[in-house]
Amino acid sequence: MARYIFITGGVVSSLGKGLASAALGALLQARGFSVRLRKLDPYLNVDPGTMSPFEHGEVFVTDDGAETDLDLGHYERFTGVSARKTDSVSSGRIYSNVLEKERRGEYLGKTIQVIPHVTNEIKDFLSVGEEEVDFMLCEIGGTVGDIEGLPFFEAIRQFSQDKPRGQCIFVHLTLLPYVTASGELKTKPTQHSVKELRAIGIAPDVLLLRSEHPIPAKEREKISLFCNVRKEAVIAAPDLATIYEAPLAYHREGFDQAVLDAFGISPAPRPNLDRWEDVMDRLVNAEGEVRVAIVGKYTQLGDAYKSIAEALTHGGMANRVRVRAEWIDAEIFEREDPGPWLEGFHAILVPGGFGERGTEGKIRAAQFARTRKIPYLGICLGMQMAVIEAARNLAGVANAGSEEFDHEAGVKRFTPVVYHLKEWVQGNHRVERKLTDDKGGTMRLGAYTAVLAEGSNVARIYGGTTIEERHRHRYEVDIEYRDKLEECGLWFSGMSPDNRLPEIVEVKDHPWFIGVQFHPELKSKPFAPHPLFADFVRAAVEVSRLV
């Protein structure tokens, strides 16, 4: 039966609970334990799939088709454990499940209440798969005191009481602000946060203190005394130069040891941190630098493209170079020539997105990369823009475009080289979709197989002709234009197994020009860089040596 570690936050949000959870998972793995990480989010959306990237950052997609919080990306990148639908839940999903059960009469006519019905639903979620691993790490989104988070805090309090003594512990992450005027770190916000937690029946076993400054022993002793936490379980969480330093930094601070001590696991297996030392060696001792332009539409918020930024870093590790990714708003290229903006870059990446805004700029970026022979990686919408660019400028389809933009505008303006995907094969059955369907959870989501053409660039990169990658899209390149585009040099080098859906395109007479309908960034890890990103950075390194 799994031991449970509940990670909560206080004082302010965005302190790094997800990163702390992921790093702890990696450290427990390094000691030989099996782990699974889960996220419980208090917002009322059923999932983040319909939320704007400006609101919530990127949507992470699992193999089994769940649209989840970006923290699950951290979990996968640090532990290598593939997330599942059962690893992410929101208040919206919990309440939806409870109401559906009530409608079906499963509560036998009882009055439905937060306690016990909502809290029982949360506890049922926590229990799924508990026999599979040694440790289950469960992160509660938001901060203690948030009104929408109260059912989750009550549920984990009950859950810890339901389990045998010593099977659940609580880790609480708070902020230690530094007041410049007085030149001191202030412990009072942490004291109040722990007081709030204890008021709802939860006593933290380990405290993580996020701070921009070193934490003196005096402050740690004070926090230990006032928060009733053992001194050795008061752990500093300093700012780091890179997130991949977190496992080593937390280990130096004694985080994993404090957790194992709280469970009474002694003596604990010694950790093997070779993997993370190699990761840091590749980052710190990079042997060069390449510049990659990311031409997107959510550039004001870095978290909107979190997995892409990390996958580029992993690609740099594979080549022992530092990747300097620079974000450029695609709308700029609708007003200005992309040349002066893109001249100094060694590669161009156009990521996914939804809606027409910025798409003409992305098309011009794809044209610049194709004509100037600069390495280009188009992901999801980035592939569709590359196809539209080739259709317009090579195949003579002057007004080529996407049905998505016409649907958005409510008027037909384009010849639809990209169309709304109405049906596809998923496993052993056919999925059908209509434009009038609900938006949430109705895209082509999760892992699908693609077959690569022999002799293609992508077959070389992957080292085989059958791959499985994660998708998140409802529009698709029209196969009707395949012959016309291939005559112009745009090779459809990856297809769905039934040969109906284009998965990958590449330009034949180009050093490195690839568009993919899926999201390879979602499967990249620092210790196992995705082959597409590793080879994309390799191509950028070659360009950098020619300049």
User: What is the amino acid identity at position 308?
Assistant: I
119 assigned binding-site residue: no
Question: For residues 256 and 28, is the Cβ–Cβ distance under 8 A?
Answer: yes
381 has binding-site annotation: yes
Burial string for 162-185 (b: 16+ CB within 10 Å, else e) reads ebeeeebbbbbbbbbbeeeeeeeb
For tokens 């005096």, the residue is: 218
pTM over 0.85: yes
> Does the annotation place 439 within a ligand binding site?
no
> Which pLDDT belongs to residue 126?
96
Question: What are 493-546's pLDDT values in tens digits?
Answer: 999 999 999 999 999 999 999 999 999 999 999 999 999 999 999 999 999 987
Spatial distance between the Cα atoms of 524 and 533, rounded to a whole number of angstroms: 8
Tokens describing residue 381:
């919408």
Contact 505, 496 (CB under 8 A): no
86 has binding-site annotation: no
User: And the tokens for 514?
Assistant: 């690839």
Q: How far is CA 236 from CA 173, 251, 371, in A?
A: 10, 11, 51
Q: Phi, psi at residue 32, to the nearest 5°? A: 95, 5
Burial of 416 (0-12, 13-18, 19+ CB in 10 A): buried
Phi (first) and psi of residue 372, to 5 degrees: -95, 0
Q: Consult the annotation and say whether 71 binds a ligand.
A: yes
Question: Does residue 189 have a known ligand-binding role?
Answer: yes
* Residues shown for the chain: 547
- CATH 3.40.50.300 for domain 3-279: yes
Please name which of 28, 51, 31, 29 lies closest in space to residue 41, comparing C-alpha atoms: 51
Cβ neighbours, 10 Å, residue 135: 20
Catalytic positions = 380, 519, 521
The structure tokens 């659940």 sit at 168
Tally DSSP H helices, then E strands, for the chain: 19, 25
Residue 104 CB burial class (10 angstroms; 0-12, 13-18, ≥19): exposed
Dihedral of the alpha carbons of 336, 341, 346, 352, in degrees to the nearest 10: -50
Give which of 393, 340, 343, 342 is closest to 363, Cα–Cα. 393
Find out whether 222 is annotated in a ligand binding site: yes
| Residue 191 counted as an annotated binding residue | yes
Q: Cα(213)–Cα(58) distance, rounded to whole angstroms? A: 30
Question: Which residues of the chain are under the pLDDT cut of 70?
Answer: 428, 439-441, 547
Vertex 255 angle, CA 186 and 148, to 5°:
65
Domain segments of the chain: what residues? 3-279, 287-418+482-492+503-546
Asked if 125 and 94 touch (Cβ cutoff 8 Å), the reply is yes
Tell me what pLDDT residue 1 has.
86
Give which of 417, 307, 378 is closest to 71, Cα–Cα. Answer: 307
Q: Which 8-state DSSP code applies to residue 453?
A: P
For CA atoms 284, 287, 289, 294, the dihedral sign is negative
| Angle formed at CA 431 by CA 426 and CA 435, multiple of 5 degrees | 135
> In this structure, what are the phi and psi dihedrals at residue 82, rounded to the nearest 5 degrees?
-65, 125
Tokens, residue 468: 């499985």
The answer to whether 19 is annotated as binding is yes
Question: Is residue 431 classed as helix, strand or coil in its secondary structure?
Answer: strand
Query: Which amino acid appears at position 324 of this protein?
Result: R
CA pair distance 87, 211, nearest whole angstrom = 29
For residue 409 the two structure tokens come to 């505008």
The pair of three-digit structure tokens given for residue 155, joined into one six-digit string: 């549920």
Residue 452 host element (H or E):
strand 444-452
Q: 287-418+482-492+503-546: same fold as 3-279?
A: yes
CATH tag for 287-418+482-492+503-546 (out of 3.40.50.880, 3.90.1150.10, 3.30.200.20, 3.40.50.2000): 3.40.50.880
CA-to-CA distance for 263 and 504, rounded, in angstroms? 49
Q: Which of 302, 300, 305 is nearest to 353 (CA)?
A: 305
Q: Measured between alpha carbons, how far is 514 from 531 in angstroms, rounded to an integer?
A: 13
Does residue 147 have a known ligand-binding role? yes
Residue 500 marked as a ligand binder: no
Q: How far is the C-alpha of 255 from the C-alpha of 171, rounded, in Å?
A: 10
Place of tokens 């990714």: 325
